[in-house]
């Protein structure tokens, strides 16, 4: 069974009051991850087709073509994992 761990290499939680999460996708799965996300999330803005401002179920995040994403204002890691699960699987 495919899980989000198949796509995600690392999750970094930023320090400070802004609770942001930086998700780094696995090198060999990043293109698939980016494609899946772009298929499911709504693109608000795209810059040079390498940086995407997206929304998905009231969560706003920015996706980078290099296979990284920054999710803003999420409650905790569990919420992030639920969002990632819906976006990737």
Partner 1 sequence: MFDPYKIREDFPILKRKINNHPLIYFDSAATSQKPKQVIEAIKNFYENHNANVHRAVHTLSQEASELYERAHEEIATFINAKGIEETVFVRGTTEAINLVAYAWGLRNLKKDDEVIISLMEHHSNIVPWEILSKMNGFNIKYAKLNNDGTINYEAFENMISNKTKIVCFSHVSNFSGVINDVKRIAKVAHEYDALALIDGAQSVPHLPVDVKDLDVDFLAFSGHKMLGPTGIGVLYGKREILEKMEPFQGGGEMIREVSFSPTTGRCSITWNDLPWKFEAGTPNVCDGVGLMEAVRYLKRIGMENVKTHECMLTEYAIKHMQECEKVRMYGPKDASIKCGIIPFGVDGLSSHDVALFLDNYGIMIRSGFHCAQPLHQIFKLQSSARVSFYIYSTHEEIDRFVEVLKEIEQV
Applying CB under 8 A, which residues contact partner 1?
14-18, 20, 22, 47, 50-51, 53, 62, 64-66, 68, 70, 72
**Cβ distance to partner 1 smaller for residue 50 or 89:** 50
**Cβ distance to partner 1 smaller for residue 1 or 17:** 17
Output the 3-class SS for the chain: CCCHHHCEEEEEECCCCCCCEEEEECHHHHHHHHHHHHHHCEEEEEECCCEEEEEECCEEEEEECCCEEEECCCCCHHHHHHHHHHHHC
**Cβ distance to partner 1 smaller for residue 73 or 85:** 73
């Amino acid at each position: 069974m495919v899980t989000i761990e198949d796509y995600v290499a690392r999750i970094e939680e930023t320090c400070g009051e802004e609770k942001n999460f930086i998700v780094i996708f696995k090198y060999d799965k990043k293109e698939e991850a980016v494609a899946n996300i772009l298929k499911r999330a709504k693109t608000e803005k795209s810059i040079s087709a390498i940086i995407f401002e997206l929304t998905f179920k009231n969560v706003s995040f920015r996706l980078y073509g290099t296979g990284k994403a920054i999710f803003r204002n999420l409650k905790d890691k569990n919420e992030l994992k639920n969002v990632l699960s819906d976006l990737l699987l």
